[in-house]
Amino acid sequence: MSFVSRGFRGRRREDVDSSRVPPGQYVTGDFPVLSAGPTPRTSMDKWDFSIVGEVDEPRRWTWKELRELPSEEVTVDIHCVTKWSKLDTVWRGVSLDTLLDGVETSAEYVTAWSDGGYTTNMPLQDVRDGKAWIAFEFDDEPLDPEHGGPARLLVPHLYFWKSAKWVRGIELTLEDEPGFWESYGYHNYGDPWREQRYGGD
């Protein structure tokens, strides 16, 4: 059984500013669906988001509480490790800065986890200072489950596997702990501009 679900059928665009496209990528107007397993579906009365690990005290928000937090619309380019890029994507979500406000920690790393058992890791600095959101809308519509709804992590400056679908929380850690794809040989950091697709890149 393949890890990737739903066929990837991109259509290349040529009418773009090449300076916005990382090396080895091509721009598509499509939004391909690639997932490591089936799409989980969690009832909203059971959904929550947590911050745990090396923190002064764990934090938790229900769906209603998350939606009551200040949110913002962001327009960003996204880049998939399978070499497609999609420009000017429009999302709405809660900044990780908002969720981490007041959290005391000595951690340097984050592991995001999701429904379905998916995890991914990154330095804590990569989800701070306006770099990451818990996104719940795409193109002014609720985020479709196949694209990670009801909420996904959005970290657009890294390859898109770092933007965990169906996200349910983050663990702050002192040591870096490879996530799902990282354990299967994907690059631990995943910078599109340095073509960090796989370990050793």
**Torsion region of 156: left, alpha or beta (phi above 0 gives left; psi -120 to 50 gives alpha):** alpha
Cis omega (within 30 of 0) on the bond before 22? no
Dihedrals φ, ψ of 134, to 5°? -95, 100
Q: Is the pLDDT of residue 113 over 50?
A: yes
Angle ∠(136,180,92) on CA atoms, nearest 5: 10
For 127-169, write each residue's pLDDT tens digit. Answer: 999 999 999 999 999 999 999 999 999 999 999 999 999 999 9
Helix (H) / strand (E) element for 138: namely strand 133-138
- Say what the pLDDT of residue 12 is: 52
Query: Looking at residues 108-113, what average pLDDT do you find?
Result: 98
Domain ranges for the chain, please list them. 12-194
- Say what the pLDDT of residue 3 is: 44
Query: 12-194, what's its fold?
Result: Sulfite Oxidase; Chain A, domain 2 (3.90.420)
- Say what the pLDDT of residue 1 is: 32
Q: Is the pLDDT of residue 26 over 80?
A: yes
Query: Rounded CA gap, 151 and 171, in Å?
Result: 17
pLDDT band at 53 (very low <50, low <70, confident <90, very high): very high
